[in-house]
Amino acid sequence: MKRCLLLLLALLLAPVSLPLDSAGAEVQTHLDNDTDAFVPGPGGTDRNYTQGARVNYFGAPGALPAPARWLAERLPGFRAPGAQRQFGLSLGQEIYTPRAIMTRKPIDDDRPYAGWLYASGILSCRDMRRTRSLELQVGTTGPDSHADDVQRWWHHGLGIRAPQGWRNQLRNEPGVVVSYQERLRPWGYRRHADFVPHAGVTLGNVHTRANAGGTLRLGLPLPDDFGPWRDAAAGSGRGRFQLYVFARAEGRAVARDLFLDGNTFRPGPHVTRNPLVGEAQLGAAGGWRSLGFRYTFTYTTSEFRERPSSQKYGSFAIVL
């Protein structure tokens, strides 16, 4: 426990030592919850992807720390002349639970209790028509993720009975995930409407999958970026009023999901993963001067076979 807290403190303080221009630096805070918090209508589900939080820190374009600069100069697509490169750090946690959280017994036909506590480094490179991002996540699942502590804390604070089955969660396992994403603006920057197709691949013992989709945006006006993404800083145009709506659709081919397949090197709770998953999002974003916001409603098709059901959750992000 003490070592985990010291690690998190070091990760939070790490950006202070980076050679980043504070005038161009940006902090993004993401808080995601299921229908209990950010989806209109009756709540009380508290299952599947129960809660997620992530803090991003992005430095000024071009102000890369030495290791990131060394890597960018050797990666195809990240060293194009005139392209804008940027580096960021993230710290996040995700919590997953089954439907019946008031039973202490193991549940064989529903997703297991699981948590994911991670830190990541993000390297991006963009020009007027294309952006590429490479993210490395390193973290842990199991009790060391402290997902059970966080969920109990929230339930206690809200006066809700605490979940009873966390003793059956996935075991501790270090995780490494590398994700590459590419997004296109076929017509370059458009002030009031654009369409941004995207595709990517993720490899690791936590997630292994390929994804592809597209984002449609309508705005007054649109920021000069490739849409709202967790692995990318907000685009230029901040300082004046902005407001836009967006719709996104994505398909994923999933070869590995530790939160469904179970631990990699030991037997334990697991369910039968669906290899194809679809996701749709609707949202609105805006900003004025140095403050920005984003709300996203997400609908995901069933991810496993034992209890086929879709999931809806909302996300709220603040950009400072």
- Concatenated DSSP letters of 234-303: --B-TTS-EEEEEEEEEEEEEEEEHHHH--SSS------B-SEEEEEEEEEEEEETTEEEEEEEEEE---
Q: What is the pLDDT of residues 119-144, one digit of tens each?
A: 999 999 999 999 999 999 999 999 99
Q: What is the mean pLDDT of residues 86-112?
A: 91
What pLDDT score was predicted for residue 169?
A: 96
User: Does position 14 have pLDDT exceeding 60, yes or no?
Assistant: no
Q: What is the mean pLDDT of residues 80-96?
A: 91
2-319 to CATH, choices 2.40.128.140, 1.10.1840.10, 3.40.710.10, 1.10.3720.10: 2.40.128.140
Per-residue confidence band for 289, with pLDDT thresholds at 50, 70 and 90: confident
Which residue, among 30, 33, 39, 85, has the nearest Cα to 59 in the 3D structure?
A: 85
pLDDT greater at residue 239 or residue 184: 184
**Would you list the DSSP string of 56-96?**
EEE--TT---HHHHHHHTTSTTS--TT-EEEEEEEEEEEEE
Neighbours of 280 (CB within 10 A): 15
What pLDDT score was predicted for residue 87?
A: 93
Which tokens in the block code for residue 296?
Answer: 């996203």
Per-residue confidence band for 290, with pLDDT thresholds at 50, 70 and 90: confident
User: Helix, strand or coil for residue 14?
Assistant: helix
Percent of the chain with pLDDT over 90: 56
pLDDT greater at residue 34 or residue 274: 274
User: Does position 17 have pLDDT exceeding 90, yes or no?
Assistant: no
What pLDDT score was predicted for residue 316?
A: 85
φ/ψ of residue 17, rounded to 5: -90, -5
Give the span between the Cα atoms of 39 and 313, in whole angstroms: 6
Q: What is the pLDDT of residues 221-252, one digit of tens each?
A: 899 999 999 888 876 655 678 899 999 999 99
User: Does position 30 have pLDDT exceeding 60, yes or no?
Assistant: no
What pLDDT score was predicted for residue 27?
A: 46
User: Does position 281 have pLDDT exceeding 90, yes or no?
Assistant: yes
Domain ranges across the chain: 2-319
User: Does position 23 have pLDDT exceeding 50, yes or no?
Assistant: no
User: Helix, strand or coil for residue 308?
Assistant: coil
Average pLDDT, the chain: 85
Cβ(138)–Cβ(14) under 8 Å?
no
Give the span between the Cα atoms of 163 and 170, in whole angstroms: 15
What pLDDT score was predicted for residue 136?
A: 98
Per-residue confidence band for 208, with pLDDT thresholds at 50, 70 and 90: very high
Residue type, 200: G
User: Does position 69 have pLDDT exceeding 80, yes or no?
Assistant: yes
What pLDDT score was predicted for residue 217?
A: 97
Give the span between the Cα atoms of 37 and 32, in whole angstroms: 9
Cβ(279)–Cβ(49) under 8 Å?
no
